[in-house]
Amino acid sequence: MPLQFVLGPSGSGKSTYLYRMVLEGALKNPEETYIVLVPEQFTLQTQKELVELHPRHALMNVDVLSFERLAYRVFNETGQPLPLLDEEGKSLVLRKVASDREKELSVLKGNAKKAGYIREIKSLLSEFMQYDIGPEELRRMIEKEREGSLLACKLRDMEILYEGFLAYLEKSYVVKEGLLDILAKLCGQSEFLAGSTLVLDGFTGFTPRQQRVLSRLMDCCKKIVVTATVGRQEDAYHYTGPFQLFARSKKMIASLCSQAEEKGLPVEKDILLFEMPAPRFREREDLAFLEENLFRKGREAYPYTPERIWLRRAGNPKEEAGWTAQAIRKLIRKEGYRYREIGVIAGDMELYGDYLTEAFEQYQIPCFLDRKRNILLHPYLEHIRSLLYLLQKNFSVEGVFRFLRSDFSLLSRDAVDRLENYVIGMGIKGGGRWDALWDKRLRFMAEEELTALNQSRITFLEQIREVREVARKSKKTVGEMTRALYGYMVSQEHQKKLKQAEETLLQEGEPALAKEYSQIYRAVLEVFDKFVDLLGEENIRLEEYCQLLDAGLAEARIGVIPPSPDQVVAGDLERTRMDRVKVLFFVGAGDHCLPGNLSRNGLLTEQERERFEEEKLVLAAGGKEQTYIQKFDLYRNLTKASDRLIISYSQTSSEGRSIRPSYLMGEIRRLYPSIRIEAAEEPAHEREWTEESGIEYLINGWQKEQMDDTWKEIRNWLLARPGYKKEIEKVWEAFRYSYLPQPVGEEDARILYGEAYRGSVTRLEKFSTCAFAHFLAYGLRLRERQEYGFQKVDLGNVCHDALERYAKRIREEGKTWTQLTREEQEAWSRQSVEEAVEEYGNQILKSTARNAYTAVRVQRLMDWSVWALTRQLAAGEFEPVWEEKEFGHGKIDRVDVCMAGDKAYLKIMDYKTGRKELDLSELYDGLQMQLMIYMREALKLGRQEWPDKEILPAGMFYYRVQEPWVQKLQPKEKESEAELQKKREGQLLAELKPDGVINGDKEILRHLNTERQADILPLKWNKDGTLAAHSKVLTEEEFWMLLDYAQEKSEEISDRILKGEADIRPYRKQNRTGCDYCPYSNICRFDKKVSGFSYKELEAMKKEEVLERLRTRKGGDGDEVDEGSAESH
């Protein structure tokens, strides 16, 4: 039977000529069969074009098929011998083979069952099968390799897996690659093929198996006609190697002619379509020049500036996609193009796909993205996968709430939120904790809330019970796990819920997404069927089953047909077919996409592939050959446009890396020297506008205060659009928003805080920090989510508790701090820490090794604190009288007293684990009133306790609970060990010295520090016996002045709170603000750039400045004191 070629360059009309020839023959000979064979992805488009060309717009004796569809057509006629094993099935079979023969493997041993390796093994095995390389060919390659070499070991492993794979398939299944071998054998038995006319279009080459089928088709078909793309100056029958532009077409022609020659079949005269210019480019001289000269050497440059070829540069891929969408919209609106007449090719569809989708949606452009869709992240599959994940991770917090937040959970969103708060707060992990009754409540939790949580827990556990029972079995098979999952899907009515979701999406105008939902359930069942059929009785661990399911679902594909006939098609260089395109946009013409990574990554390296070539074993093209294939794909795609070609690239990547123009941009500029690369941006008055982009432009204009005539025109246009007036008014209202303080109101404040405000000092200081933060914390009682863990605040709580227990033990034993021996101090300290740790936070300090180590650290802190506090007491004449003494405003950690005749001197100590120093400037601003208010309360308590004594303040201090870090001292010459040890102790005591202020009365100073030790208190004496300047001492009058001011400040703040003040006005003092570490920043949205928002500016002052201001407030030199102070004097 004769063979004939239709030859011509791109745009010469080869496909149109072939289709017209087929239709003419089909009309003249209605009894004959005409078969149009095209690549799989082109079948739908080809059938559509044939129907449009047919006079009656119907195909009766013309079939459009791919090789695979042709095989099924013949099988339907002759009987298909075996079921087809698809890509998912291949992966499962290879996994089983790898498991059974793992001990025989070397390089792949231990990895062959992993999903990534299975994918690579399957890919290489498919390539071997496509190119007729079997186990025997692999053995010959192994014999020629050096024993023990990496390639020999790889091939040996592949041979083992290949043989096992073929043995499994024998008499059970046939793979896609094997379909063509069966088709070749059955061609002679098919009446459908006998005497038919076969035409092939869109191919650039054939695999050995496809060539065998074509060889058999030559025996039974009446005629075979093949189209091939070759340049006008090319000799189509002279193939010299793969490294030339039209090498693939020439190789295809050569192989078909060789087959025809072997069979003695004639090759008819070629149909040459070399008209100049090609029909596609008539009256398009610049585009015709591109087709004739692209990637050819020694050609002259185009003498004019091309009108129909544009080069553009954008800032990044997102801007590039946005400009492309704008340009398409302008072509539609101003030049009358249809969407279907415009195509977009991306250099990297994975990179540009999402950006193009977003841009086309914004500019309301109907579009079909021709790309492979990974369905693993589909909401329904995420639900199934999250169920297995939570079981695999034994009810980890992440696993449980990944499942509960999926769309198919039985719990409401509110119930899940409450459940999550409780689980995180109580540190619930593991299935055992979920099975047990929850009987402990979080802080501030009501009993009925705990009951509701337990009900949610039971609902959740019951939902997954059956799957969990199977998953917990020590020995389980793939079939058991799969049937359990299927039972779960049925019991939860997933098919019905997916159908409801599909209908909702159709109502919302999302047909493509609805199509996904309509197919996803079937796709899962097909994977399950393969699991049971191929691996049903194989034992498997849960972790392996999760990997297996992910691998199976990753291979699953759901078909998405373009939902509209009039839409822009966007795709990549290799798989997308563009026909009848008038305007083509090529995005991603930077060096990151072209040439991109053309090397074949996988089990075989480029060098190892070259070894196959040396042995005359053909594999898929390597990196060097791929470069010329890419150029050929560029030539075919860039010459699709009949009116205009726009090529663009980004100057930076999405990550901000610099990108240079690719070799394609260089080639275009070589051919057209006068062409310029212009910026992909336009003035505002020339841009395309949609409602969304218009609103965005208005917002930018408001923010930058650039409200020009264009801005006003867009605003007026939007105001006239139906439904957008309110939208613009809302945006304008937001822009004009100015914060105005809104007090809570005195009546509401008293409801929130009570008739008489008796808040703690911490609350008063919080109000001074920010009145709104105080309102949220103590008015609305908003709290951060409680988390199960040991934080810095917990460290302080445990240390406080331990110190309180230690002091209580001393009091119970009837001793004083200074009477204890060092051994007693250590023993009582250790016991106090053990008791504090045991009772703190549901034994949180024993929950992890890290927390257990924290308990050790607490013990060290306690030991140092006991030692330092004891030494400080021993240096003076004060003794602790109260520990953790409660009063209306809070709790005083420790109060010490010194009785001296008719006087009683009081000293207070507040324990801190953070770095805290007394700052009188902070007192003045109400940010640090604790010690002063505590001292006033201690004085009141003292008067009640010792009414016959004059109660006087001696000092108030912060003691920082810490481990001291000091520089190691080196002994001096003739210095004894005792002297050195005394110096070291002095260093340590100085590091642990409390901070605060001291009443400067000489009698008080003597009682506080009898030996005048500089490392005990913030005191230092000069050699003449006077106090050093930096000693933290106040006169008695200054001391009382501070106490009185603190009282006045607390009353003032309390009054402001009860009046309902709740301004969003945090303080700012030097480089610190009230917003630092504030948990409510996402609620108040304080932003200094928004009108009305401002900081309460506070001035940093030295001690002398503060005291001077306090004297000024008193209206004199500080002689006036209040009645309470005078009375106490």
Collapsed DSSP state (helix, strand, coil) of residue 412: coil
CATH number for the domain including 540?
A: 1.10.486.10
pLDDT for 35: 97
Q: Is the pLDDT of residue 985 over 90?
A: no
Indicate whether 674 and 700 sit together in one domain.
no
- Residue 562: pLDDT band by 50, 70, 90 thresholds? low
Q: Say how far apart CA 811 and CA 880 lie, in whole Å.
A: 9
Residue 625 lies in a domain: yes
Rounded mean pLDDT of the chain?
A: 90
- Stretch 1032-1051: mean pLDDT: 93
Q: Of the candidates 525, 555, 585, which is a domain's last residue?
A: 555
* Percent of the chain whose pLDDT exceeds 70: 96
921-924 contact pairs (CB < 8 A, 24+): 921/1099, 921/1100, 921/1101, 921/1102, 921/1105, 921/1106, 923/1042, 923/1045, 923/1046, 923/1049, 923/1106, 924/1045, 924/1101, 924/1106, 924/1109, 924/1110
Helix axes 663-671, 285-293, angle to 10 degrees: 120
Indicate whether 539 and 392 sit together in one domain.
yes
Q: Is the pLDDT of residue 371 over 50?
A: yes
CATH number for the domain including 242?
A: 3.40.50.300
Each residue's pLDDT tens digit, 193-234: 999 999 999 999 999 999 999 999 999 999 999 999 999 989
Residue 833 lies in a domain: no
Residue 540 lies in a domain: yes
Indicate whether 527 and 425 sit together in one domain.
yes
Indicate whether 505 and 545 sit together in one domain.
yes
Q: Say how far apart CA 819 and CA 676 lie, in whole Å.
A: 93
Q: What is the DSSP letter of 171?
A: T
Indicate whether 111 and 189 sit together in one domain.
no
Indicate whether 77 and 213 sit together in one domain.
yes
- Stretch 710-724: mean pLDDT: 86
Beta strands (DSSP E) in 437-530 are none
Residue 120 lies in a domain: yes
Burial class (CB in 10 A: 0-12, 13-18, 19+), 431: middle
- Residue 653: pLDDT band by 50, 70, 90 thresholds? very high
Indicate whether 417 and 501 sit together in one domain.
yes
Residue 1069 phi/psi, 5-degree rounding, is: -140, 110
Number of Cβ within 10 Å of residue 23's Cβ equals 18
Indicate whether 407 and 455 sit together in one domain.
yes
Indicate whether 317 and 450 sit together in one domain.
no
Q: Of the candidates 219, 245, 275, which is a domain's last residue?
A: 275
Residue 1082 lies in a domain: no
Domain around 16: 3-82+177-275
Lowest-pLDDT range of 722-736, 812-826, 869-883: 722-736
Each residue's pLDDT tens digit, 563-580: 677 899 999 988 888 878
Q: Say how far apart CA 1078 and CA 1107 lie, in whole Å.
A: 30
Q: Say how far apart CA 1107 and CA 1127 lie, in whole Å.
A: 22
**Could you give the residue ranges of the DSSP H alpha helices within 131-271?**
135-144, 150-169, 176-186, 208-220, 247-263
Residue 979 lies in a domain: no
Each residue's pLDDT tens digit, 80-112: 667 888 888 888 888 889 888 989 999 888 777
- Stretch 1102-1107: mean pLDDT: 92
Closest CA to 773 of 518, 1052, 1076, 439: 1076
Contact 371, 353 (CB under 8 A): yes
**pTM more than 0.85:** no
Q: Structure tokens of 802?
A: 């331990």
Closest CA to 10 of 340, 281, 270, 255: 281
Indicate whether 10 and 107 sit together in one domain.
no
Closest CA to 915 of 962, 875, 954, 871: 962
Indicate whether 573 and 451 sit together in one domain.
no
Indicate whether 389 and 320 sit together in one domain.
no
pLDDT for 369: 87
- Stretch 148-163: mean pLDDT: 93
Residue 740 lies in a domain: no
More confident residue, 713 or 869: 869
Q: Of the candidates 555, 589, 609, which is a domain's last residue?
A: 555
- Residue 712: pLDDT band by 50, 70, 90 thresholds? confident
pLDDT for 1123: 37
Chain centroid to Cα 881, Å, comes to 57
- Stretch 1087-1103: mean pLDDT: 91
Residue 1108 lies in a domain: no
- Domain total of the chain: 5
Q: Say how far apart CA 337 and CA 344 lie, in whole Å.
A: 14
Contact 394, 400 (CB under 8 A): no
pLDDT for 890: 82
